[in-house]
């Protein structure tokens, strides 16, 4: 009579009905309650039944992350079963190979060389399709092979792969703060909302026989793990795909090394798309290294001339200038003992404030900073959230302290340089959120990527939250018209047929330990529209473009193509007679 393989009623041939209930034994967590030398006295051990992790969906219900059932072959033959005899162990492993190798093409003998002594179960094959798993289970049953089991497990699957890797993130097997093992979110939404997604596993205390093997347990006695909740994002999968496509085209045409883009609704803070290229594929976490990041949230850069939007806002808000006021634009000026020059080192003579933005004059921005003085300048930067996190619901947001008036390391020259986006660092998201105040009548909304969480207890929706008022509505209206003139009169490659848009170019030098790189730049464009009622804001950033260093040449066309495709999708009709 063949000796049956003891199971938790997860019979190899019948296949586990418990899989449908989420009762998946992922790993033996604890060996025994006794010291290794006292294993013959073992009475019970603990098994973990992993909960099914909740799905992540886009705003329209498209699945972005889900748990799918997969099968694995595990060895369950602890040293006590063969008395620690290496000859018996080798004979058993040879028998395993004779049965499994023709079916799975694997060598249990080679795999078992890395089998930790403390593990009662050791996986030798994973990701086995169901039809093959049935054949393997039947073969194990027919031969009476001991210590081998086909087991189900949950595999995290990301149907969109690279498209949403940095936003959604991925999971890994590790310990939480109390030291309990299981699947944990590593980055992205998986990390931020891990508490809701992971559900509640069950730890079983299972009796064992004299040889330390688990005895059968009635299914009726098993508690059921609670599946995790579903997380619905503000991300629109279609808009995300459009942004990724146009950003990839921008990289190819410009020769840039990498690119980032974010699309948000300035009146709510909802993030509709967040793309970084190259991206990582969360379906292959074993290949991930330091590249498993979300640069829109985690990477700092000096923004360059898009920062002039904030400097102009500060000057208008303080009342030190009006849009029609003029200044003498010179090629270079001295500020705090350091030279400040226009990008072309050419002076354009007398310009008004709108022309300062249109022609992106560094000398003009420094002129505004001088009129403001450091206290008012830094007060407005603080109001825009520069130097602090946006409080977005994604992990590891980077922030760099702004070197400001009163700090021991501050110099007057810093004020001049910061006025046009040097000597200050932001993330793409922080820059986009700051400019969103201009589109939202001066109010900054908290940005967020999760729309709601659905659990058995109910639906938890994210509430809109005003972080603060950065500038008055009147200042925002004036500045919107000035930024519309930037596109209408100079940054023509940012024009969107049928829509009146507002925006600003940026061409930032890249700091190095030896000073600013003389060749490479970061080309960017941030804009929003329609000007009369801004519904969407788009920021595009290209690192180290080769064809042209200028934001007006490389980033502006990407902005325009994205806007032209997504505005109709958002139900925003073109004007009767657009530009």
**Interval 510-528: pLDDT, tens:** 998 888 888 899 999 999 9
Average of per-residue pLDDT across 148-157: 88
Q: What per-residue string of b and e applies to 106-120 under the rule 16 or more CB within 10 Å gives b?
A: eebbebbeebeeeeb
pLDDT higher than threshold 50 for residue 15: no
Q: What is the pLDDT of residue 33?
A: 25
Average of per-residue pLDDT across 108-114: 78
Cα–Cα distance, 469 to 128 (Å, whole number): 56
Question: Would the pTM of this model clear 0.85, i.e. be above it?
Answer: yes
Length of the chain as a residue count: 579
| Percent residues over pLDDT 70 in the chain | 84
DSSP assignment of 381-445 equals HHHTTTTS----SSS---------TTSTT--HHHHHHHTTT-S--B-HHHHHHHHHHHHTTTEEE
* pLDDT tier for residue 497 given thresholds of 50, 70 and 90: very high
Check if the beta carbon of residue 158 is closer than 8 Å to that of residue 165: yes
pLDDT higher than threshold 70 for residue 302: yes
Average of per-residue pLDDT across 212-230: 71
Q: Within 10 A of 421 (CB to CB), how many other CB atoms are there?
A: 29
Q: Within 10 A of 150 (CB to CB), how many other CB atoms are there?
A: 26
Q: Is 5 helix (H, G, I), strand (E, B) or coil?
A: coil
Q: Which two tokens stand for residue 74?
A: 């595990």
Cα–Cα distance, 465 to 445 (Å, whole number): 6
Higher pLDDT, 277 or 405: 277
Higher pLDDT, 395 or 107: 395
Q: What is the pLDDT of residue 120?
A: 67
Average of per-residue pLDDT across 15-29: 35
pLDDT higher than threshold 50 for residue 460: yes
Average of per-residue pLDDT across 336-360: 95
Q: Which two tokens stand for residue 208?
A: 């064992």
Alpha helix positions (H), 505-550: none
Cα–Cα distance, 212 to 119 (Å, whole number): 12
* pLDDT tier for residue 1 given thresholds of 50, 70 and 90: very low
Which of 363, 301, 300, 298 lies closest to 327 in space, CA to CA? 363
Higher pLDDT, 126 or 307: 307
Q: What per-residue string of b and e applies to 540-569 under the rule 16 or more CB within 10 Å gives b?
A: bbbbbbeeebbbbbbbbbbbbbbbbbbbee
pLDDT higher than threshold 90 for residue 501: yes
Cα–Cα distance, 539 to 274 (Å, whole number): 10
pLDDT higher than threshold 80 for residue 367: yes
Average of per-residue pLDDT across 492-497: 97
Check if the beta carbon of residue 250 is closer than 8 Å to that of residue 256: yes
pLDDT higher than threshold 70 for residue 287: no
Average of per-residue pLDDT across 315-339: 96
Which of 282, 257, 231, 242 lies closest to 448 in space, CA to CA? 231
Tens of pLDDT, residues 248-272: 999 999 999 999 999 999 999 999 9
Check if the beta carbon of residue 387 is closer than 8 Å to that of residue 401: yes
Q: What is the pLDDT of residue 6?
A: 30
Cα–Cα distance, 196 to 65 (Å, whole number): 14
* pLDDT tier for residue 83 given thresholds of 50, 70 and 90: low
Query: What is the 8-class DSSP label of residue 227?
Result: P
Cα–Cα distance, 491 to 432 (Å, whole number): 19
Check if the beta carbon of residue 296 is closer than 8 Å to that of residue 464: no
Q: Which two tokens stand for residue 440?
A: 């939202």
Cα–Cα distance, 381 to 375 (Å, whole number): 10
User: Which residue segments constitute the domains of the chain, with CATH numbers given?
Assistant: 52-107+115-211+219-233 (3.90.1310.10), 237-278+295-451+462-569 (3.40.710.10)
Tens of pLDDT, residues 35-57: 233 344 446 766 677 889 999 99
139: left (phi over 0), alpha (psi -120 to 50) or beta: alpha
Q: What is the pLDDT of residue 216?
A: 64
Q: What is the pLDDT of residue 24?
A: 36
- Average pLDDT along the chain: 86
Tens of pLDDT, residues 162-217: 999 999 999 988 766 666 677 889 999 999 999 999 988 887 777 776 655 566 66
Q: Partners of 50 in the beta sheet?
A: 24
* pLDDT tier for residue 148 given thresholds of 50, 70 and 90: confident
Tens of pLDDT, residues 401-459: 998 888 899 999 999 999 999 999 999 999 999 999 999 999 999 999 999 999 888 99
Helix (H) or strand (E) run with residue 248 in it: helix 237-254
Which of 77, 3, 447 lies closest to 268 in space, CA to CA? 447
pLDDT higher than threshold 90 for residue 109: no
Average of per-residue pLDDT across 489-513: 95
151: left (phi over 0), alpha (psi -120 to 50) or beta: beta
Give whole-number Cα distances, 74 to 150, 418, 544, in Å: 6, 60, 49
* pLDDT tier for residue 106 given thresholds of 50, 70 and 90: confident
Check if the beta carbon of residue 490 is closer than 8 Å to that of residue 343: no
52: left (phi over 0), alpha (psi -120 to 50) or beta: beta
């Amino acid at each position: 009579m063949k000796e049956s393989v003891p199971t938790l009623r997860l019979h190899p041939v019948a296949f586990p009905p418990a899989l449908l209930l989420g009762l998946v034994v992922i790993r033996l967590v604890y060996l025994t309650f006794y010291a290794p030398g006292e294993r013959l006295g073992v009475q019970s051990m603990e098994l973990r039944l992993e909960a099914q992790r909740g799905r992540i969906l886009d705003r329209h219900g498209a699945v972005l992350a889900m748990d799918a059932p997969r099968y694995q072959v595990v060895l369950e033959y602890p040293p006590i079963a063969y008395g620690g005899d290496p000859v018996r162990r080798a004979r058993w492993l040879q028998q395993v190979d004779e049965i499994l190798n023709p079916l799975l093409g694997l060598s249990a003998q080679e795999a078992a060389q890395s089998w930790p002594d403390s593990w009662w179960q050791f996986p030798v094959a994973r990701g086995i399709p169901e039809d093959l798993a049935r054949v393997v289970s039947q073969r194990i049953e027919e031969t009476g092979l001991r210590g081998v089991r086909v087991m189900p497990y949950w595999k995290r699957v990301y149907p969109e792969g690279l498209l949403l890797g940095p936003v959604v993130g991925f999971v890994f097997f590790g310990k939480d703060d109390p030291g309990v093992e299981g699947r944990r979110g590593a980055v992205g939404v998986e990390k931020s909302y891990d508490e809701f997604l992971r559900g509640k596993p069950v730890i079983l205390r299972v009796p064992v026989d004299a040889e330390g093997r688990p005895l059968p347990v009635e299914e009726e006695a098993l508690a059921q793990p609670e599946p995790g909740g579903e997380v619905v994002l503000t991300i629109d999968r279609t808009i995300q795909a459009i942004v990724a496509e146009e950003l990839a085209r921008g990289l190819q045409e410009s020769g840039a090394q990498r690119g980032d883009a974010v699309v948000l609704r300035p009146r709510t803070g909802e993030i509709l798309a967040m793309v970084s290229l190259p991206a990582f594929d969360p379906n292959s976490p074993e290949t991930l290294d330091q590249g498993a990041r979300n640069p829109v949230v985690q990477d700092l850069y000096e923004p360059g001339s898009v920062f002039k939007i904030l400097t102009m806002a500060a000057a208008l808000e303080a009342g030190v200038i009006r849009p029609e006021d003029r200044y003498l634009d010179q090629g270079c000026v001295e500020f705090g003992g350091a030279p400040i020059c226009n990008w072309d080192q050419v002076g354009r003579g007398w310009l008004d404030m709108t022309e300062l933005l249109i022609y992106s004059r560094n000398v003009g921005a420094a002129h505004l900073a001088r009129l403001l003085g450091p206290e008012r300048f830094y007060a407005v930067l603080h109001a825009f959230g520069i130097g602090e996190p946006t409080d977005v619901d994604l992990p590891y947001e980077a922030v760099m302290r702004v070197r400001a008036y009163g700090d021991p390391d501050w110099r007057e020259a810093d004020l001049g340089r910061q006025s046009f986006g040097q000597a200050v660092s932001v993330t793409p998201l922080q820059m986009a959120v700051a400019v969103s105040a201009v589109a939202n009548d001066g109010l900054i909304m908290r940005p967020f990527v999760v729309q709601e969480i659905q659990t058995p207890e109910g639906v938890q929706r994210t509430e809109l939250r005003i972080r603060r008022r950065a500038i008055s509505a009147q200042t925002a209206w004036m500045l919107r018209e000035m930024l519309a003139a930037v596109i209408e009169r100079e940054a023509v490659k940012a024009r969107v047929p049928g829509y009146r848009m507002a925006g600003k170019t940026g061409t930032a030098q890249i700091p190095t330990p030896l000073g600013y790189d003389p060749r490479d730049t970061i080309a960017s464009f941030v804009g929003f529209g329609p000007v009369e009622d801004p519904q969407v804001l788009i920021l595009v950033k290209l690192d180290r473009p080769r064809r042209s260093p200028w934001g007006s040449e490389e980033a502006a066309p990407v902005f325009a193509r994205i806007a032209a495709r997504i505005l109709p999708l958002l139900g925003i009709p073109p004007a009767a007679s657009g530009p």
